[in-house]
Chain A
Amino acid sequence: QVHLVESGGGVVQPGGSLRLSCAASGFSVRSSGMHWVRQVPGKGLEWMTSLDEIRTYIADSVKGRFTISKDTAKNTLHLQMNSLTIEDTAIYYCVKDRTGHGAFDYWGQGTLVTVSS
């Protein structure tokens, strides 16, 4: 059974950094497309970045600041977030890809990142 558990959220000052983790079980992140999607509370969904077996995709809004990576030994997905701004405040979801369809199949429960001074 696929299960995704995010961690690492919290409060950070503007300009700061944070690293989110997503522990996966029930499948291998090595051979799966994985994504990060965020949502400002009460607002819509925003795709951030994706990583399949060979390629990385990233939204223009976070390019140069956010980096997605996989730790295949620990079956974990990471999101390194640098130069954070107030506009990055959101719930961050780790998502497993629906292979071949570019859809977001399984979602974690989300972790809240608050950027505030």
Chain B
Amino acid sequence: EVVLTQSPGTLSLSPGEGATLSCRASQSIASDFFAWYQQKPGQAPRLLIYGTSSRAAGIPDRFSGSGSGTDFTLTIRRLESEDFAMYYCQQHTGSHYSFGQGTKLEI
């Protein structure tokens, strides 16, 4: 079972700044099967990035994903007020899926 560990737990930034969120896996993951989600209070999660670096439909290009093996990164350029939310990473390996514990991006 693959365990995903996100860091930091909370990230405090201001609008206009850039954000870097990390996710480390307990074992190597195929790049095709790694994703990032955004969740705002009272809402269902929304897919941001799939296949490590492909943006989902409607996701602004200030969001980008990168990484390989066990280390993956979500980068958000020029934060806007709507970007302050929870972010989760997720992987699929074999017959198992798992999420990281989340990073809270706060103003």
Interface residues of A (CB under 8 A from B): 35, 44-47, 50, 55, 57, 59-60, 93, 98, 100-110
In the complex formed, the residue of A with least CB distance to B57 is A105
Q: How far is the CA of A57 from the CA of B1 in the complex (A)?
A: 13
Q: In the docked arrangement, what's the CA distance between A57 and B37, Å?
A: 21
Q: Are A104 and B45 in contact (CB under 8 A)?
A: yes
Q: List 29 contacting pairs A-B, 8 Å CB cutoff, sorted by A.
A: A44-B101, A45-B37, A45-B39, A45-B45, A46-B99, A47-B96, A47-B99, A50-B97, A55-B95, A59-B96, A98-B35, A100-B32, A101-B33, A101-B51, A101-B54, A102-B32, A102-B33, A102-B35, A103-B35, A103-B47, A103-B51, A104-B35, A104-B47, A105-B47, A105-B50, A106-B47, A107-B44, A107-B45, A107-B46
Chain B, interface size category, equals: 20 to 34
Would you call B72 an interface residue if the criterion is a C-beta within 8 Å of the partner chain's C-beta atoms? no
